[in-house]
Structure 1
Amino acid sequence: MLEQASDLAEDQEYEEAILLYEKILNSDPKYIPALLDKAATFQRMGKNSQSFQIYNSILKEDSNNLDALIGKGTLLHAKSKFLDAIECYDSALKIKPRFAMALACKGMSLGEIGQLKSALSCFKKALTIDKDYDLANMGKQKALELLKSQKSKK
């Protein structure tokens, strides 16, 4: 049933997916895979407060859940709470230091607060782990462009 719900979410049938996740969670309210998928689906629907609540409930049970840390971080980033987002990514990186997604997301948040050299470093580290990671490649290019434009203004 979880796979069916995930497929529905992938096909942007969000309401139907949520109903299936709720059915799954009725029988096991702490089933982490269903909670994570439900939170991600809410996030795609723009229902960020529901998503945020789910990520927080997962992290209360398991503060080391990487998916919940990244999910919460991306929600905080979207709310322009970049320092809080960076805390989530740093927590994930303490658990898994070679985590390309956490590095790339941290780089995005660092870039938003103007720490371009640190952001670039995160993107480069992410690319040493996964050379084809799109988010890291795009972030690296943007950081390089911004750094170059800063130098040319001086």
Structure 2
Amino acid sequence: MEESSNLLLQKGQKFLNLGNPKEALEIYEIILKNEPQNIEALIKKGHILGMTGRYVQAIDSYNKVLSQEESNLIALLNKGLAHHYLKEYEISISCNDKVLKIKPQNTTAVYNKASSLVKSNKIQEGLNILGDSEMLEKFNDLWAETWDIAGKNNPYDWYIKSWENVWKNSRFVTPNAFSDYWQNIWKNSSEEFFKRSAEAMKKMNNL
């Protein structure tokens, strides 16, 4: 007797939770063979493909979702992120704009849009839509603190843990998107406000 789609979805999620995306993808492919339009399986498949750098295939999966539900926020956000990694920043921005029309306060869309703007050299525009000087100051403080402690021969894993903790509070979809956004601000901004961060990051990179 064949397993139901719900049971298969649960099995696929268990594989993901255990860090086995290959096995999870095989499960979602089984579901989609029988139900090509299964939205949850398409989203999970797209997520795994994106995680493993297969962004074009991930986008195809999200497009199949959006052809059924054009306002599916998860598909729009993840599709935008895939385009971002393909350096298709305008398309990425468009995806996030669609999310913001539906949910104007969606922080993930705001941050991801800002990241694509910065990557496309629209740095000030990216900073303007972020509009959160308190968070910018938080990052400045993180780098200053990291630099100080690293200078006292603090283990590198402390820095990694600190960075991951701040990423989790940032609402970026992935740590790579989070890191790309801030590194581009630091590399490209000449404002006094970012000098501490830029200097700290440079010294950390030379450790």
Q: TM > 0.5 between the two?
A: yes
Of 114, 137, 149, the residue aligned with 1:107 is: 114
For residues 103-132 of structure 1, the C-alpha deviation after alignment (integer angstroms, 9 at most, x for no partner) is 10000000011211221133336x6xxx93
For residues 40-94 of structure 1, the C-alpha deviation after alignment (integer angstroms, 9 at most, x for no partner) is 0111122222211111111111111111111111111111111111011111111
Please say if 1:147 is aligned against 2:189.
yes
Name the residue aligned to 2:141: none
Name the residue aligned to 1:132: 169
Question: C-alpha displacement at 1:96, in angstroms?
Answer: 1.1
- Give the total of aligned pairs: 148
- Please, which runs of 5 or more residues in structure 2 have no aligned partner? 1-7, 136-167, 196-207
- Whole-angstrom distance in 1 between the partners of 2:13 and 2:81: 20
Name the residue aligned to 1:20: 27
Name the residue aligned to 2:50: 43
Of 84, 92, 99, the residue aligned with 1:92 is: 99
- Whole-angstrom distance in 1 between the partners of 2:87 and 2:40: 27
Residue pair 2:13, 2:24 contacting (<8 A) in 1 also = yes
Call closer, same or farther: CA 1:150–1:94 in 2, change over 3 Å: same
- Whole-angstrom distance in 1 between the partners of 2:36 and 2:16: 20
Question: C-alpha displacement at 1:141, in angstroms?
Answer: 7.8
Name the residue aligned to 2:76: 69
- Please, which runs of 5 or more residues in structure 1 have no aligned partner? none
Code of the residue aligned with 1:65 in structure 2: it is: N
Question: C-alpha displacement at 1:29, in angstroms?
Answer: 2.6
Instruction: Select the structure of larger CA radius of gyration.
Output: 2
Question: C-alpha displacement at 1:142, in angstroms?
Answer: 5.4
- State the secondary structure of the residue aligned to 2:190: helix
Identify which range, 73-82 or 19-28, moves more after superposition: 19-28
Question: C-alpha displacement at 1:149, in angstroms?
Answer: 5.1
- Whole-angstrom distance in 1 between the partners of 2:77 and 2:178: 19
Call closer, same or farther: CA 1:147–1:55 in 2, change over 3 Å: same
Of 111, 114, 121, the residue aligned with 2:128 is: 121
- Whole-angstrom distance in 1 between the partners of 2:77 and 2:15: 22
Aligned-residue Cα RMSD (Å) equals 2.9
Call closer, same or farther: CA 1:56–1:114 in 2, change over 3 Å: same
- Whole-angstrom distance in 2 between the partners of 1:59 and 1:88: 11
